[in-house]
Structure 1
Amino acid sequence: SNVDLYVFGETIRDYVALLGSLRETFNQRVKNYGVWTNAQKTLQSKRDSEAKMQTTGKTDKLPIVQAEIKDWEQKEKDAEKAFNKCSKVLKREVERFETVRTKEFKAKFLEHLEALMHMQEELIRLWEGYLPDVQAIEAES
């Protein structure tokens, strides 16, 4: 029936919307990972510059580089926190998808199949009801 098809369609629409949400969260996680690795590389570069300045004795710009290192250490920590937070959200969303939506989708799909089966049974019953009439018409001919 149309109602069953509508309910099943709504379940599929919700299913697709949740998959879209998962995809957006995953894309954000990828971006956060890129920011984090970039911060790690920049921090390492600043530390290398500091070490080079100390070994060559050029300490005139050392306070500036040390301040930049401190700044990039904080940026790296913040980026790591953002990545880890996004990872937790993604994991939670995937778990929710796997448990709730999969069960719900399966239940709605089974309900839809059962409704189709009942419609088929009703159709068979109706045709079986017409069979004696058809046989009577054939016998008269």
Structure 2
Amino acid sequence: MSLHFLRQTTLAALLALPLAASAAQPVIEVYKTANCGCCKEWVKHLEANGFKVKANNVADPGDYRQKFGIPAEYGSCHTGRVGGYAIEGHVPAADIKRLLADKPKARGLAVPGMPMGSPGMEGGRKDAYDVLLVKDGGKSAVFQRYESTEGD
């Protein structure tokens, strides 16, 4: 083996490390109904942002929300599970990545309802909405705030 070959191989391996690290997101289990279009779009959003998704069509995603300790008041049309956290509703992938990196003591994240402009709910307008950090006991705090683009 030549020294030139070793240098090229080592350089190529080092350059590939950041790409491999950024692409290696954990699998998100998603529980959704078979016919919900916005759930399918949210799954596409997660995949486009480096997550592997295992989508499970279920009769009632709310059963999984309850099982994972997210109160009904924070409900949406689908529930996910990743890294021991529940992900309820149209939570942006960037917020899930931050949750997994920061590892706060919490049940998970929730975007209650189905706000227009959130991932999977893209359309003509973008409503303001909050991503909530849901803590034990059902209390929550704003994890990330998204502003409306109406009037822009």
TM-score, length of structure 2 as denominator length:
0.25
Structure showing the higher strand proportion among its residues: 2
Q: Which has the higher contact order (CA 8 A, sep 6+)?
A: 1
Structure showing the higher helix proportion among its residues: 1
From the CA coordinates, give the structure whose radius of gyration is larger. 1
TM-score, length of structure 1 as denominator length:
0.26
